[in-house]
A and B are shown apart, each in its own frame.
Chain A
Amino acid sequence: NAGVTQTPKFQVLKTGQSMTLQCAQDMNHNSMYWYRQDPGMGLRLIYYSASEGTTDKGEVPNGYNVSRLNKREFSLRLESAAPSQTSVYFCASGPTGDEQFFGPGTRLTVL
């Protein structure tokens, strides 16, 4: 089992560019999550998906969109990147009501 995989690992964008962060899990989990991690801020939830076909906003959704493509995949899209979106992005999955399994993260810099 690969667990939770994320691509890319690193990305540099210019302000205004768009990109999609990919996430996939092979553990048959219903719930999937996108977080951003900034120094001193801990993990902040961007969007989550409680099951295939559903998505909901988290604490910091502005500037992002998501797609739960199927049970395995949950992508995060930045339509017009801004320097404030420079961060480390983590995807996680888990059985509803239980622990979360995290991917290795994507380190994004927006210039």
Chain B
Amino acid sequence: AQSVTQPDIHITVSEGASLELRCNYSYGATPYLFWYVQSPGQGLQLLLKYFSGDTLVQGIKGFEAEFKRSQSSFNLRKPSVHWSDAAEYFCAVGAPGGSYIPTFGRGTSLIVHP
């Protein structure tokens, strides 16, 4: 079975600063990897996903993530954070084939200071 860890419960950055949110997974092969964002009082929205191919993935809202097989990581980055990026971010991992049941991390809350 797969698992995913988001080591940081909260991250605080200043507006305009760069951002990196960490995600580590456990799975025997290359999994499907996702990042979702949840604004307060809303459901989750997909930012980006990785299935195979180019390990640097571009998403919506200026986010990108890099798959690093050697580190079992899929960290989310943004070069310049906007106040509207304040939200909860979830990393998820899915196992290709069979019954497809994605596993979610516990989330990282992003706080943006003006």
Contacts and interface: CB of A to CB of B under 8 A. Distances in A.
Contacts of A102: 36, 43-45
B83 to A, nearest CB: 23
How many chain A residues sit at the interface, stated as a range, is: 20 to 34
B13 to A, nearest CB: 21
A80 to B, nearest CB: 27
Given A42-B105, A42-B107, A99 B100 contact: no
Contacts of B42: 104-105
Contact of B100 (A4, A31, A41): A31
A90 B44 contact: yes
B25 interface: no
Interface residues of B, number: 23
Contacts of A40: 9, 106
**Would you call the interface of chain B mostly helix, strand, loop, or mixed?**
loop
B45 A96 contact: no
Contacts of A53: none
A104 B104 contact: no
A97 B42 CA distance: 24
B12 to A, nearest CB: 17
B110 to A, nearest CB: 15
Nearest to B9: A40
B43 A58 contact: no
Nearest to A56: B99
A31 B100 CA distance: 9
Interface of A: 4, 31, 35, 40-43, 45, 48, 50, 56, 58, 90, 92, 96-105
Given A35-B104, A43-B44, 20 more contacts: A31-B100, A40-B106, A41-B106, A42-B105, A42-B107, A48-B101, A50-B99, A90-B43, A90-B44, A96-B100, A97-B32, A97-B100, A98-B32, A99-B46, A102-B43, A102-B44, A102-B45, A103-B43, A104-B42, A105-B41
Interface of B: 9, 32, 34, 36, 41-46, 49, 90, 94, 96-97, 99-102, 104-107
